[in-house]
Every structure is written in C-alpha cells, then in structure tokens.
Amino acid sequence: MTSTPAPDAPQIAVIGGSGFYTFLDDAEQVEVDTPYGPPSAPVAIGTVEAAEGLRRVAFLPRHGMHHEFPAHMVSYRANLWALRSLGVRQVLAPCAVGGLQRALGPGTLVVPDQLIDRTSNRVQTYFDKGACHVSFADPYCPRLRTSLLSGVGADEKPVDGGAMVVIEGPRFSTRAESQWYGAQGWAVVNMTGHPEAVLARELALCYATVAVVTDYDAGVDADSSVSQAEVFAVFGEHMDMLRTSLRTVAGEVSLERGCPCADVLDGMDLPLVLP
C-alpha cells in the first residue's frame, strides 16, 4: 500500500519532451531535492480547469528548461521521485518519435501500448537490493491511455497502440537498425521512454505517453534520414495542440485510480521508503 497525497497536492503531472519546456500559465517554480540529485528543472505547479473547479497540476521539462540534458543524461530517477514527493500519482508524458512504418508519417499521433528497451547504459530501477520484481507486462496505465486517446488531437485522433522502441542515443539509428526495428512490427522509435516508464511503475504511478511522429526513421525507405532540426520543427508545429489537449486531459482524468498501477507494490518488502 502506498501513501495518499495531501488533498491540495498536484496529483497529475505532465513531463514535457523535446521543445516542450512550458505548460502552465500561472505556475509557481518549486525546487525539489531527491536522494538522486536534483530533477531536470524546478517543478512548475499551477492549475487547469476541472469539473471541481481549478485542479493543481505539476509540470517538469524532461530535458531541462533549455534542453541542457540529452536523453542519455536525463536524471530519470530524480525526475519521477521529485514528482511523487510533491503528491503526483499520475503522469502524462508526451514525446517526439520517429515513425518505423509507412502508415505512421510526420504529424501522426500515437498512444503506444508496448515498449521495447534497446538502451545500454541507464540506471533503470530504484531497487538495488531485495526481491522487488515489479510487473511490467503492460507498461502504460490503461486509464491514462484511454484519456489520451479521447482527449488529444485536433482533426485526427491518435493511433491506438503500437510498440515504442527506445534507443540509447544521442545518435539516431543506422538504416540497418531502423529496418530491423520496423521488420519486428514496432511502430515508433524514441530515446526517452525508458527508463522513465519503468521508474514510474516502481513508484506505483500511473503513466502513459502520447507520441508525436516527427519524421520517418532512416530505414523506412531509401530517402528517409532524420535530422535534429526536422524533429524540433515538426514537434514545434504541434505544441499548441499538445498544450491545449493535455490541459483538458489533466483536468478531466479521474483522481480515483481504479487501475492496477496503485497496487503494483503490494506484498513487497521495499528497501526504501517512498515519498
């Protein structure tokens, strides 16, 4: 059983990806210390409209306020710990991805239902001792996925499902790597989805992502070759839509967690005390 946040705590958080550095208009910047060092930036706490009135929401830019931290240097453990210590129990995590299938071109929104870890040098657990094997068969909260599928997007709603393969970075994939990922039937490729998702699960947080396809990955066809400028440009084109949609989702999602995420640590003898 995990602790219950205070009634006035920001129980919903958004973690912003590349180019997504601000979210709330009325935000207070809160410095948070964690056992894993500081998070990527001070946590912004503000409000969004909800049925009960104004709901407090937290925001954290994954890469820092000025993209100081590339994907392989983000302090994922500090980021998730900081959010939970402030009362957050549900995390919406938009990100930029490359499309691995012809049907998933630039501008497509995807709400993945599976994750493949191809990183090689990242700390991916809070549990360095004891028998704490957390269930991760379904990496994303089913409630939050449903909320993102119905609440995000303008003219077109997101694609429901697909596997996101996460690579180490900071380089992009070779054509051979990209072709191999696509041949497995995987949908999109990204550099930040792991270990963020598994660390959220280890803290008994609800977590789901909406992915913005910014490019065809290098192996989709002979002409495709992703560049950093292309990624930032296409993601930037969708920023206003993402902010508006995620404010709506953050205000509408239920604070009652009728999903397995809250109870995932039940029965375990944890080697640490969760905030």
Catalytic residue list: 215, 217
* Of residues 134, 116, 214, the one with CA closest to residue 172: 214
* Of residues 220, 223, 100, the one with CA closest to residue 162: 100
DSSP string, 91-140: EE--EEEEE-STTS-TT-EEE-SEEEEE-SS----S--SSS-----SS-S
198 burial level (CB within 10 Å; 0-12, 13-18, 19+): buried
CA torsion sign for 16, 35, 134, 1 is: negative
